[in-house]
Structure 1
Amino acid sequence: MARGSADFDAQALRTLRRRTLFDGCRLSAAEVAERLGTSKSRVLAYESGRSVPEPRRIVQLAEIFKVHPRELAAQPNPLGLPNLIDLRDLRIQAGLTMAQAADRIGVSRSGYAEIEHNALLPVRDDGAVRLELARVLGVRPGVVDQALLLHPAAVARQRRLTDHLQEIFERTHHAGVPGVVDAEDRVLLEIAPLLQRPPQTACRLVKGEVDRYWTLLHERARMEVDLAYAPSAAAGRRLAVQKERLDTAVAQAAPTSARNLTRFLSQALNVRQWRILGVLSEHGSEGVPPSLAAYHVQEHQTDTRALFDRRYLVATMRGETATLALSHSGAKHIHQHLARYARLYPRVRIANPPFGLRFSGGRLTPDVSAERAASVWNALLQQASAAHQEAGSAQGM
C-alpha cells in the first residue's frame, strides 16, 4: 500500500499532466517537480501510486493544473456507487493537516482528533462545529453528517445502543412487568456514555423511545382485534397489510430508535438556542418586536447567529426596521423534534404547532436568499449596537 494512503487518484494526476497545456505544451514530470520544489522521481511515484502526496502537495498540484483538490481524489467505483465518505480523505482533499483543520474550525487538536478518529463532536457542541467543519472542508453539512454517521466508530456505538434499547424494549412484552427505566438502571448507565449525556438526561430520552415503542405495541394489538373481526374479506386484506407494516415497525423499533436518537443528538440545539427558537415561534410570521430582536442579537449574538446560519430563523424587515422571525426550516425543526427536545430540556416549553399554524396552510416567513439575509442581519447588528449605546448613555445621565 502506498505510504500515506489517502483517497488520492494517481490516474487523475497522470491525466491532468498529459492533457493540460501550458503555452501549447504539456508539462514534463521534471517541470512539475520543479514547480513543486521536489524531485522528478517523487512526481513519478505520485503518478504510479507508489507514493501519496501530503495535503499541501495536493493543494500545490491542484493550483498548478488550475483544478479543485477534489479533482485529484479517487473516482467512484465501476458500478457507479460513491466511495465511502471519510473525514480524513475530505480533509486531505481540502489540502489541510489535522492541526490546520483544528485551528480553522476552532477546536483543540485533540478535539479534532476525536472527530476524525472516533466521530465524536465536542459534548457541548451546538451544531456550530459541524457547520464549520463543512465550511472548512468545502462540502455541504449533509456530507459531514453522513461521514460522521457512517464512521466505523459511530456504527459500532449505534449497534451497542441498539442492543441496549432492544433489552429495554423487551421488558414491555412481559405482562405485569412495566418497561420502566430509571437513572440507576444497569442498561441505562451503559447507554448514557453512548449518548454523551448524563444518566438523568439519558433516562428521559430513553423513556421517550419506550413511549414510542408502547404506542406501536398498542396499535398492533388494536389492529389484531380489528383484523379478527373484519367485516369483509376485502377489509381483512387491507387490515392484514397494515398489520404487516406494524409488525415490521415493531421488529425494527430498536435500530430505528437508536438511529433517530443518535442523529437528533448530533444536531441538537443548545438550551439557549432552543429557548430563542421558542420565543420566535410565539410571534408568528411578523417576527418578534424589533426591540426584542435587538436584545437577542446583542445579548445572545453567538447563539442567534448559529440559528441564523442554520436557516432556522430569518432576518426580515418590519417597515423600516429589521427584526427576526421563524423560518420554514425552523418551524419544521420544532415540529419534527419537539418531543425529544421536551425530554432534553424539560424546563423549556414550546407549543406545537408553532403559533397555531399548520405547515400545509399557514403562512410562515419564507427562507430568503443568502445575500438578502446577510444584508438584513447587518442591519440588525447596527440596531443592536445603537440600542446598546443608547442604554449606556441613559445610565450615564
Structure 2
Amino acid sequence: MRVDGTLHHRLAFALGVSPGRVNRALHHHPQAVERRELLAELLAGLFERARIVHVPAVVERDEPGSLAVAVLVQRAPTVAARLGNHELDRFRRLLHDRALAGVDAAYAQSERVARRAGERHDKFTQLIDAAPVHSARVLSGFLAQAVNARQWRIVVALADAGPDGLIDHAEAGPEAWEALRAREFAVKAVRGDQDVHLLSPRGRDALRAEYGLYACLYPRTRTPQVLGGRFTRRSSVTVG
C-alpha cells in the first residue's frame, strides 16, 4: 500500500505466491499498462524542451504537462515537477552523450575510431527514442513501491550507521521497522547484548539506484553520506 510500500509483499503473502509474481501481474494489468502509456506520452512532451540548446530545460510545477503528470501518478504538483526534472536531466544527458559521440566520429583519425563512435551515436539514439517509455516504466514501478518518508529517513540513517547498525527506538515505531524488514531493506542482528538493525544488501542497492528519486519525494531528508564509496545520481549510460 502507498503508506508503507509493502502492498506487493502483503498480496504475495496472502496469495501464497512470490512477490515477483505479484509484481508481474500488477505490471501487466490493463489499467497499469494504460497509465504507463499515458505517462510516456506526457513525458515525451516534456522532454522536447531538452532538445533546445543553450537553454536550461526545466519543468515547472504549475504548467499543464506537469499538472497532468501529477494527476496520473497521484502525487502533489511539486513532487511531480521534481520527478519530471529528474527524468528530464537524465534525458538531456543522453542528448549530451550522443552529441559527444557525433563529435568523436566527425574528428576521428581512423576509420575504426569513426566506426566505433558512430556505433555509440546510434546506440544513444536508440536510448533517446525509448526514453519516455523507459522513464514511465521506472517512475511507475518506483512510485508503486516507494517507502514512506519516515522509513526513508531510517534507511538513510542505517546507511550512515554502517556496520554498527541502529538500535530500535520509539521515534521510528515498530510499524516502520516491520515494513523495512518486509521489503528486505533492513535486517536484524545482535551487537553485544543489544538487537540492532542493519541496512541489507537490497537496501544498499535501493539507495544507490533510487536515492535521486527519493530526493524528489522527500527533499527534506538528508542525502546518505557514505556507503561503500560516494553516492552519485543516476549516471549517463556508458556505451561502447
Give the structure-2-normalised TM-score.
0.90
Q: Secondary structure at the match of 2:169?
A: helix
- Structure 1 residue 343 corresponds to structure 2 residue 212: no
Alignment match, 1:321: 194
Which residues of structure 1 form unaligned runs of 5+? 1-121, 359-397
Q: Compared with structure 1, are the counterparts of its residues 245 and 352 closer, same or farther at alpha carbon in structure 2 (3 Å cutoff)?
A: farther
Q: Deviations over 1:264-295 (max 9, x none)?
A: 1111110000000111111112323xxxx131
Is the aligned partner of 1:277 residue 2:155?
A: yes
CA contact (8 A) 1:283 1:355 kept: no
| Contact 1:335 1:353 (8 Å CA) reproduced | no
Runs of 4+ in 1 over 3 A off after TM superposition: 174-178, 355-358
For 1:248 and 1:233, locate their aligned partners in 2 and report how far apart those are by CA, in whole Å.
22
> Does residue 132 in structure 1 map to residue 10 in structure 2?
yes
2:203 pairs with 307, 330, 333, which one? 330
1:160 paired to 2:38: yes
| Per-residue deviation, 1:229 | 0.7
Aligned twin of 1:182: 60
TM alignment of 1:1-397, pairs within 5 A: 122=1, 124-175=2-53, 178-288=56-166, 293-296=167-170, 299-351=172-224, 354=227, 356=229
Deviation (angstroms), 1:299 = 4.5
Q: What RMSD, in angstroms, separates the aligned Cα atoms of the two structures? A: 1.8
- Shift in Å at residue 129 of structure 1? 2.2
SS in 2 for 1:127: coil
The one-letter code matched in structure 2 to 1:294 is D
SS state at 1:255 partner? helix
Contact kept in structure 1, 2:99 and 2:121, CA below 8 Å: no
Tell whether the 8 Å contact from 1:168 to 1:179 is kept in structure 2 after alignment. Answer: no
Provide, for residues 112-131 of structure 1, a one-character-per-residue CA deviation record: whole Å limited to 9, x for no partner. Answer: xxxxxxxxxx5x33222221
CA drift of 1:300 comes to 1.1
Query: Cα distance 1:318–1:220, how it changes in 2: closer, same or farther (>3 A)?
Result: same
C-alpha contact (below 8 Å) 2:168/2:196 kept by paired residues: yes
Measured in 1, the distance between the counterparts of 2:69 and 2:230 equals: 37
Counterpart-to-counterpart distance in 2, 1:133 and 1:317: 30
Paired letter, 1:287: G
Number of the residue aligned with 2:238: none
1:319: Cα distance to partner? 2.2
**Displacement, 1:320?**
2.9
Q: TM-score if structure 1 supplies the norm length?
A: 0.56
Q: Which gives a bigger RCO, structure 1 or 2 (Cα 8 Å, sep 6+)? A: 2
Rg comparison, structure with higher value: 1
Aligned-pair identity (%): 38
Give secondary structure in 2 for the equivalent of 1:324.
Answer: strand
Cα distance in 1 for partners of 2:127, 2:33 equals 21
Indicate the SS of the match to 1:350.
coil
For 1:210, give the aligned amino acid: L
1:352, 1:195 → 2: CA distance?
A: 30
CA distance in 1 between counterparts of 2:207 and 2:37 reads 28
Is the contact made by 1:335 and 1:354 (CA closer than 8 Å) also made in structure 2? no
